[in-house]
Amino acid sequence: MEGPCVTSPAEAFALFGELARLDREHLWSVCVSQEGRVLAMRRGAAGRACSTALPVASLLREAVACRAWGLIVAHNHPAGEAGPSPQDIRATRCLAEGARALGLRLLDHIVVTDGGWTSFRLMGLL
């Protein structure tokens, strides 16, 4: 059975919208085919109330294992600030570089809050 298709930041947010309700930071990821079909979705463990780690190696391992073309990650900011932190930006750049080295694409990183969301792609950060 094929998963849903994700071809835009808004469609990616729709997959991760439930993050807005969580009171601790969580990181989720989605592996997609070249056509944008969801191949696998991973709901990561909770971080602290205001931070979570971006496990670059395990995200890339999972993408390779499911033969993904691309990867989308998302995490929430329970405090309500939808903009990415400097740490978010650094970690995302590291993930994007690792993905490129493996022939993958980091398609987006979505930050979710109870009041909205932002996309690294739309912000020009990817």
- Domain membership of residue 3 (yes or no) is no
- pLDDT at residue 1 is higher than 90: no
pLDDT at 51: 46
pTM for the model: 0.89
- pLDDT at residue 45 is higher than 70: no
Give residue 59's identity as a one-letter amino acid code.
L
- Domain membership of residue 18 (yes or no) is yes
Q: Which has the higher per-residue pLDDT, 45 or 76?
A: 76
What CATH number has the domain bearing residue 59? 3.40.140.10
Give the domain extent around 79: 9-119
- Domain membership of residue 70 (yes or no) is yes
Number of domains in the chain: 1
- Domain membership of residue 124 (yes or no) is no
- Domain membership of residue 44 (yes or no) is yes
